Amino acid sequence: MTAVRTNPVVSTPYGAVRGRRENGVAVFRGIPYAAPPFGPRRFRPPEPPEPWDGVRDTVDFGPTAPKPPYSEAFAQYLSDPLVPGDDCLNLNVWTPEPGPGARLPVLVWLHGGALTRGSSAVPVYDGHAFARDGVVFVSVNYRLGVEGYGLFPDAPANPGLRDQFAALQWVHQAIGAFGGDPGRVTLAGQSAGAISTGALLAAPQAQGLLRRAVLQSGPPEAGDRDKVRRMVRRMATRLKVPATAAAFAEVDRDLLLRTQAEVGRLSSPVLGGPAFGIVVDGDLVPRDPLEALTDPGAGLAKDVDLMLGWTSDEYRLWLVPGGLLERVDRLGPVALAGAMARCHCGSEVVRGYRAQHPEAGTAETVGQMVTDHLLRIPLHRLAEARPGSSYVYEFAWPSQLPQLGACHALELGFVFDTGDTPESARLAGEGAPAELADAMHGAWVRFAADGEPGWQPWDATHPVQIFGKGDPYLASGPRDGDFAVWTADPTTEETAPLSEPAEGWPARTAELRSVVRRLRRSGLARRH
């Protein structure tokens, strides 16, 4: 009897797995949901794993997808374990009650990392606290970088997103045996994981698989196919091979990763260089996900509850490592012109930001402009399209480390209640408030359980739950209603949205291309 409790065994569609009891919950790590994506399967859609006989031990994390390491500047803030091996399409399950009949809510986690880094083995993503509080927690590994999001003429697009969809299908089929309810699945992700969540929300094939979704610091979007093609072509040029999946499959894997890292060093959210991203593929992603989800006639994910949010200073994780914050401030007007190019807006928008925040330096203005354009405004649009079932938050607690503020990814240790891990302290510093973790983690648990995190859903008053110093509170927002994007005259009530080009924009295109080139030559682009 004791051995069974210590080593729980659960049947999956492909064979039985044995986990381990850890601190009162059952944990299963490294369960394959698809076959290894190498050899003849490389750059192809995922295929089911080979069934196995007997009981498979699933105590340790499975292999992580191939990825380059973070640069030294970023590694001091972000943990990214590497587990070698080809069987990287695997997932992990934390559950308080393995076995059918429990029918507990399920939360499936998609990690961030710009679709080029990250994994389910990051200690901050430990699922123990969710299982402790009655939620079956699942975290997923998926293909990254050129392996998962390269665009080739001889292979289907978005294999990494297809991996995530395959994992969702596995959850729908198998999670009941782990104590989960396949009818109460919440898909959640941060940054690239949130972008992936949005794409799957809009995917026709995924309809009916989800009851709720959480998008943390990432909007539903489809990337520019030309930008992805440029990444692949530049890699092909350096490797001296054709820009085809067949040719890339013959390249040494380590060389491929080094080349990807070198070509992708300008892929900052601020600079907008070539980058990997989810693209419209006419299949899993038939149209831009944000447009699909805000189209009332499409009827996609119409019964799915949403929780959406961001951090107050997202951009600081993009600019603080490597001293980019100071470089942007020194560049002054050149950096502001680059931000206008990045956001497709005119100088009146910059004047609007400066009028609202006259004390802000150039880096803060540029960072907030780009964050609003890329992240807050799209999430605002999504909430506006789904009032009554969308809950919006802002994470405003500043890191104890210099200059980081309430930066991108800082909220994760609070959501997972893993603030006591050294990996969380890399971003938060020492002494992160436990009561803030209680509040945030509790909201995520409540949302997964019944769709109500504990504050007012989105309506005409634009309620935003603020998680910062002291008790959480509800504010009207976001960012006082207009994301600080005003016309040149801040006393008027008109706004100039960053999502639309300002008048006269085409005449400035050549000039601003020149500005971007100057930015790169200046050293601002040396992020990695």
What amino acid positions are annotated as catalytic residues? 191, 314, 408
Which H or E element spans position 428?
A: helix 422-428
User: What pLDDT score was predicted for residue 274?
Assistant: 65
Contacts of 462 (CB under 8 A, 6+ apart): 392, 476, 477, 478, 481
User: How is residue 210 written in tokens?
Assistant: 């989800």
Output the CA torsion sign for 485, 490, 491, 497. Answer: negative
Q: Residue 97 burial by CB count (10 A; 0-12/13-18/19+): exposed, middle or buried?
A: middle
The whole-angstrom distance between residue 106's C-alpha and the CA centroid of its chain comes to 19
First CA to last CA distance, the chain: 53
CA distance 78 to 67: 14
User: What pLDDT score was predicted for residue 124?
Assistant: 98
Residue 522: how many other CB atoms lie within 10 Å: 16
User: How is residue 69 written in tokens?
Assistant: 């390491």
User: What pLDDT score was predicted for residue 268?
Assistant: 66
Residue 6: how many other CB atoms lie within 10 Å: 11
3-state SS record for 327-385: HHHHHCHHHHHHHHHHHCCCHHHHHHHHHHCCCCCHHHHHHHHHHHHHHHHHHHHHHHH
Which ranges constitute the DSSP H helices of 46-121? 72-75
CA distance 99 to 109: 21
User: How is residue 188 written in tokens?
Assistant: 């959640």
Q: Which amino acid is at 485?
A: V
CA distance 341 to 347: 10
Cα–Cα distances in Å, from 390 out to 214, 382, 395? 10, 8, 17
Inter-residue contact 398 to 405 (CB < 8 Å): yes
Instruction: Output DSSP code: residue 313.
Output: B
Q: List the pLDDT tens digit at each of the 528 positions of the chain.
A: 344 457 899 999 999 999 999 999 999 999 999 999 999 999 999 999 999 999 999 999 999 999 999 999 999 999 999 999 999 999 999 999 999 999 999 999 999 999 999 999 999 999 999 999 999 999 999 999 999 999 999 999 999 999 999 999 999 999 999 999 999 999 999 999 999 999 999 999 999 999 999 999 999 999 889 999 999 999 999 999 999 999 999 999 999 999 999 998 767 666 666 689 999 999 999 999 999 999 999 999 999 999 999 999 999 999 999 888 998 899 898 988 888 888 888 888 888 888 888 899 999 999 999 899 999 999 999 999 999 999 999 999 999 999 999 999 999 999 999 999 999 999 999 989 999 999 999 999 999 999 999 999 999 999 999 999 999 999 987 543 344 443 333 333 333 333 333 333 333 334 334 444 444 444 443 333
User: What pLDDT score was predicted for residue 22?
Assistant: 96
CA distance 216 to 310: 6
Let me know how many helices (H) and strands (E) the chain has, helices first: 20, 14
Output the CA torsion sign for 81, 84, 87, 88. Answer: positive
CA distance 140 to 184: 18
Q: Find the helix packing angle between 333-343 and 362-371, rounded to 10°.
A: 0
CA distance 504 to 496: 13
Q: Residue 309 burial by CB count (10 A; 0-12/13-18/19+): exposed, middle or buried?
A: buried
CA distance 365 to 219: 21
Q: Which amino acid is at 488?
A: A
Output the CA torsion sign for 375, 381, 382, 386. Answer: positive
Inter-residue contact 72 to 84 (CB < 8 Å): no
CA distance 356 to 349: 11
User: What pLDDT score was predicted for residue 478?
Assistant: 57
Backbone torsions φ then ψ of 105, nearest 5 degrees = -65, 155
Q: Which residue has the tokens 């100071």?
A: 326
User: How is residue 242 written in tokens?
Assistant: 């054709």
Residue from 446, 437, 270 nearest 364 by CA: 270
User: What pLDDT score was predicted for residue 265?
Assistant: 79
